[in-house]
Structure 1
């Protein structure tokens, strides 16, 4: 699939998702990802910042595409994309190694290079994250019956990573398809503060009665971020017309609700199309995407 066709596929899938009831899928995604977040709040608070998340997904995608790829290749790619600076990437890679999420050693073919592999810890956590997107995405039309039950496949992570690599290479991701959302996605917790505000309003029924949500203290406590962090985010969003501050409570604007639904429809469409591309490539190579229980 060329870039033009891939872009059209992503736009079409995302648009169709916004034309149906997407809130149930958003609630499920939030609950699934928060389950992992609560177990390791410090790690996920940093990982889910948009640029850091893209670096982590780049590492995963490159490693499944070519197990012998040098770490320097991924570093250069991430620098070109502007995800992080060279020094920040070095620090982040060291953090992943020290946290037990990446093994690094001398490259077998070039002693001047370093090779890397994701650890079992990475494979488990990455699989849970992918499921937090894929399962909700499968709740929304347009449905793809060929992906049904794939979340139980032992090949889930490999299939996703190889399909996502095509989207990553084409640079057809959220920051390009919806650049106006980048300001909120690149903060501590990534898109979770956005999700927390939206799901809070959804669950207390205020999307129909003025969009009021809980206080700074309640939201920040649930996410393990500071009250100041939330206040700064809300103040910035207020200048852009996404929020209003009423003493202790936060009021969401219709523009924020629209931004939220568009952002999540893109995330869900990327996850679904990644799986479609991965399955097609895997089967073209004569492999079977078999189903088993984890």
Structure 2
């Protein structure tokens, strides 16, 4: 599939998802990802910041595509995309090593290079994050198999990573498809602060009664971020017409609701298409995986 066809397919899948009942899927995604977030709020509020998350996914995807790829090549790729500066990437890689998420060794064939691989801890947590997108997407467009089989599949992460590598290399990610959303994604917590606001409105029934949501204090406490961080995000969004700030609460605009639904439909479509591409990749001679058996 060439880049133009892949972009059309992603947009088509996203449009189908957004035309469906996406709200229940969004709530499931929020609940699933918060299970991981609550265990390590400091780690995840940094990891989910959009550019950092793209670096982490790049490491994971390229490690499955080519387990002999030098770390320097991933660094060059991420720097070229503008995710982080070279010094920031060095610091981030060191953090991942010290935190037990990545192993780095001197390459046996070239002592100037460093090989890398994700640890078992990384693979466990990455699988949970991927499921937080795949399972909600399955609510809307189920595979033939059940979600329970998907959860137990040992090949899920490999399938996803190889397929996502194709989307990553084509640069068809959310910041390119929906650039107006990046101002909210590339901050502490990534998409979770805006997702928390949206989930509040859904669960309080206020999407039909004025879009009022929780106070700054409640949102910041839930996400482990400062009240100032939430206020700054809300004020920035108010200038763009997404929020109306009251003394203690936030009012969401219809424009924000539309932006949120479009962003999440793209998250879900990228996850789903990654699995589909990964299955094709495996069926072409690597590891045969049938979605009906996942």
TM more than 0.5: yes
Question: 1:4: Cα distance to partner?
Answer: 1.1
- In structure 1, the residue matched to 2:144 is 145
1:112 maps to 112
- Contact 1:48/1:188 (<8 A) preserved: yes
Pairwise CA distance, 1:152: 2.1
1:142-173 deviations in Å (ceiling 9; x for gaps): x4437863332101111100000000000000
Q: Displaced runs of 4+ in structure 1, greater than 6 A?
A: none
Q: CA deviation at 1:7?
A: 0.6
Report the Cα distance in structure 1 between the residues aligned to 2:152 and 2:275, rounded to whole angstroms. Answer: 13
Q: Distance in 1 between matches of 2:259 and 2:275?
A: 25
Asked if residue 251 in structure 1 is aligned to residue 255 in structure 2, the reply is no
1:203-282 matches, cutoff 5 A:
203-282=203-282
Q: How many equivalent residue pairs?
A: 292
Gaps of 5+ in 1: none
Q: Report what 1:91 is aligned to.
A: 91
1:94-140 CA distance string (max 9 Å, x none)? 11001000000101221001010100000000000010010001111
Partner of 1:161: 161
Structure 2: gaps (5+ residues)? none
How far did 1:46 drift?
A: 0.3
**TM-score between the two structures when normalised by the length of structure 2:** 0.96
State the alpha-carbon separation in 2 of the partners of residues 217 and 278 from structure 1.
42
Q: For residues 44-68 of structure 1, give each alpha carbon's deviation from its aligned partner in whole angstroms, at most 9, with x where no partner exists.
A: 0000000000000000011000001
Task: Identify the residue that residue 81 of structure 1 maps to in structure 2.
Answer: 81
Deviation at 1:218, TM superposition (A): 0.3
Secondary structure in 2 matching 1:116 = strand
RMSD (Å) for aligned C-alpha atoms = 1.6
| 1:153–1:289 Cα contact (<8 Å) kept | no
Contact 2:279 2:290 in 1 (8 A): no
1:31 is displaced (CA, Å) by 0.2
